[in-house]
């Protein structure tokens, strides 16, 4: 296969799926031979987006086939969030908006990380830099990724560039951004049919802070209380995951997308780092983090500092 594969992180969110599809479109327009793929199941929010547009989901892979020429990572760079055989494949490019950690190559590559709220915001600039056309479908994919990552522009990760990109993409897509965005986010909060394990793994990311291994799982909700009705079952599953992966901490972040707070459940030997990072006291392993909605900017940063 002379193809290159493009994919976002494991437990893909809307940005990871949309950015893979979008960048594949841009690369194809630029004459490259690429294929968007995904490293996990779609979440309800992303399903809503693809259904709305009648776009097929990228093919699911568990490892990069040996005959693939090289890979392009979008929306992540940390190897533990990437495909299992990432160390055996040639990484050609990275387009991302996260902290950089646990990434290395022997060869120089095209690596573009910008401190914006969404990978698709960077891709939008790349269409402009390359003077390439953005179809209505592609515009809606990018817009959906920005709405998802910024919680409709309410997250502190959201920058002026994201807002500007979303506005312009909304015009290209001829879509009511607020209305579409709310429907999309609400679709993502339908958690009733999820098992405890699914809920804990659907948007879980692994981090290494110094010598400590941490999983931070995030779910969005309209009413965070309903998630915690299943606290006992969730704690039992979390303890299994901690044991299996030898984690120092598992943090479940249940984000109230209406009031912009997060209710967290922290388990593991490093729970005191959570208390230190957010200046809270855990009660029954839980705490309310006022105004916290962004894993990247409000959780990883502060929690990471306490492991130094």
Which chain residues interact with its own copies by CB under 8 A? 97-115, 129, 296-297, 300-301, 304-305
Of how many residues is the chain composed? Answer: 308
Closest to its own copies by CB, 51 vs 110, is: 110
Q: Minimum distance from CB of 75 to its own copies (Å)?
A: 12
Q: Minimum distance from CB of 108 to its own copies (Å)?
A: 4
Closest to its own copies by CB, 53 vs 86, is: 86
Q: Which structure tokens are listed for 252?
A: 């479940």
Closest to its own copies by CB, 155 vs 189, is: 155
Under 8 Å CB-to-CB from 52, ≥6 apart: which residues? 140, 180, 184
Q: Which structure tokens are listed for 179?
A: 């209305």
Dihedral of CA atoms 278, 76, 194, 236 in degrees, nearest 10, equals -50
Q: Minimum distance from CB of 125 to its own copies (Å)?
A: 10
Closest to its own copies by CB, 101 vs 260, is: 101
Closest to its own copies by CB, 46 vs 119, is: 119
Q: Minimum distance from CB of 300 to its own copies (Å)?
A: 6
Q: What's the CA angle centered on 174, arms 171 and 176, to 5 degrees?
A: 90
Long-range contacts of 100-103 (CB under 8 A, 24+ apart): 101/77, 101/207, 101/208, 102/78, 102/208, 103/77, 103/78, 103/79
Dihedral of CA atoms 41, 174, 116, 29 in degrees, nearest 10, equals 70
Closest to its own copies by CB, 35 vs 296, is: 296
Q: Minimum distance from CB of 96 to its own copies (Å)?
A: 8
Q: Minimum distance from CB of 92 to its own copies (Å)?
A: 9
CA distance 70 to 110: 12
Q: Minimum distance from CB of 104 to its own copies (Å)?
A: 4
Instruction: Name the helix (H) or strand (E) containing 165.
Output: helix 160-173
Closest to its own copies by CB, 25 vs 161, is: 161
CA distance 86 to 7: 11
Q: Minimum distance from CB of 157 to its own copies (Å)?
A: 8
Q: Minimum distance from CB of 307 to its own copies (Å)?
A: 9
Closest to its own copies by CB, 42 vs 277, is: 277
CA distance 200 to 252: 7
Q: What's the CA angle centered on 39, arms 222 and 304, to 5 degrees?
A: 65
Which residues are paired to 6 by β-bridges? 36, 72
HEC-encoded secondary structure of 249-288: EEEEEEEECCCCEEEEEEECCCHHHHHHHHCCCCECCEEE
Closest to its own copies by CB, 277 vs 287, is: 277
CA distance 60 to 116: 27
């Amino acid at each position: 296969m002379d193809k290159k594969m493009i994919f976002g992180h494991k437990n893909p969110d809307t940005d990871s799926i949309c950015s893979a599809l979008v960048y594949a479109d841009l690369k194809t327009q630029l004459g490259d031979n690429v294929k968007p793929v995904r490293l996990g199941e779609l979440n309800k929010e992303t399903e809503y987006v693809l259904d709305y547009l009648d776009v097929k989901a990228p093919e699911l892979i568990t490892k990069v086939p040996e005959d693939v020429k090289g890979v392009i990572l979008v929306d992540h760079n940390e190897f533990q969030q990437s495909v299992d055989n990432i160390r055996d494949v040639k990484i050609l490019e990275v387009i991302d908006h996260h902290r950089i950690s646990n990434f290395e190559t022997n060869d120089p590559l095209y690596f573009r990380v910008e401190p914006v709220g969404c990978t698709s915001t960077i891709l939008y600039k790349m269409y402009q830099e390359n003077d390439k056309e953005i179809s209505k479908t592609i515009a809606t994919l990018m817009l959906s990724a920005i709405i998802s990552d910024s919680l409709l522009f309410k997250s502190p990760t959201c920058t002026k560039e994201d807002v500007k990109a979303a506005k312009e993409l909304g015009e290209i897509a001829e879509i009511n951004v607020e209305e579409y965005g709310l429907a999309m986010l609400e679709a993502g909060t339908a958690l009733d049919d999820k098992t405890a394990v699914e809920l804990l793994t659907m948007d879980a990311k692994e981090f290494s802070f110094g010598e400590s291994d941490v999983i931070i799982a995030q779910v969005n909700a309209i009413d965070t209380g309903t998630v915690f009705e299943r606290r006992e079952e969730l704690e039992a599953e979390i303890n299994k995951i901690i044991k299996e992966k030898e984690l120092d901490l598992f943090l479940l972040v249940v984000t109230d997308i209406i009031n912009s707070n997060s209710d967290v459940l922290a388990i593991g030997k490093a729970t005191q780092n959570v208390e230190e990072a957010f200046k809270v006291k855990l009660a029954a392993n839980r705490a309310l983090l006022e105004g916290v909605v962004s894993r990247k900017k409000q959780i990883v940063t502060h929690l990471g500092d306490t492991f130094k």
